[in-house]
Structure 1
Amino acid sequence: METPLTPYLPLAVVLLLSGVLALIIPTLAGLLGPRRPSAVKSMTFEAGSESSGMARQRFAVKFYVVALLFIVFDVEAVFLYPWAVNFQALGWFGYTEMVVFAATLVVGLIYVWKKGALEWES
């Protein structure tokens, strides 16, 4: 007899298996892995060069502003693609919606540009 949950049995097996593996693999790696500490292995390593400065060093705010701008324009690209695919079905209403959306982002970009947030100084 088939119950309503029978189609979900393969999904439950995969989730159970992945959960078990997520516990077993790190445990076995910790128990069976090599332990040969040395002074060289204990040193901090960053991108192939020795570290300079403190780890708790403050970053310039402009770094975060550029990262946020990247995310904003990445989201714009995500919204632009489905709009372009459905352009004919949306008609003029969809066109004006996208113009307003893009204009808002352009105004924001002009504001950030005038504030000098895109100027990267060493």
Structure 2
Amino acid sequence: MDDLTALARHHLDQAKSDPHGRSAHLFLHDGPLRQSVIAMVSGCELDEHNAPPAASLQVLHGHVRLTSTGGATTDLIAGQVLRIPHERHGLRALEDSVVLLTAVTATVGCPTPAENAENRASA
């Protein structure tokens, strides 16, 4: 069992000494399920990248801004959780922050969000 509070504290300390201002650790890997702690110092950015089939972001400490290709932005503070949109997105730390990223990297046998919408429309 992992202690998220201890992981968050440790990786924020690591991020403060890292030249890129961030530290990450994949602590749970079970089939397609992944959970990672990502610590970022204020001003640090994760450039825009593709979204996995399903993911959420929970802020454990600090204040972050999630941006998406369409220009939408969502600010999140400690205690808040958000489903990551199914489009390219980026993340910026507005203050020293730690997030919990939960991602599902494959959906074998499961319909995609677009397929779910098609199935609902044809029903």
More helix by share: 1
Greater relative contact order structure (CA < 8 Å, 6+ sep): 2
Q: Taking structure 1 as the reference length, what is the TM-score of the superposition?
A: 0.20
More strand by share: 2
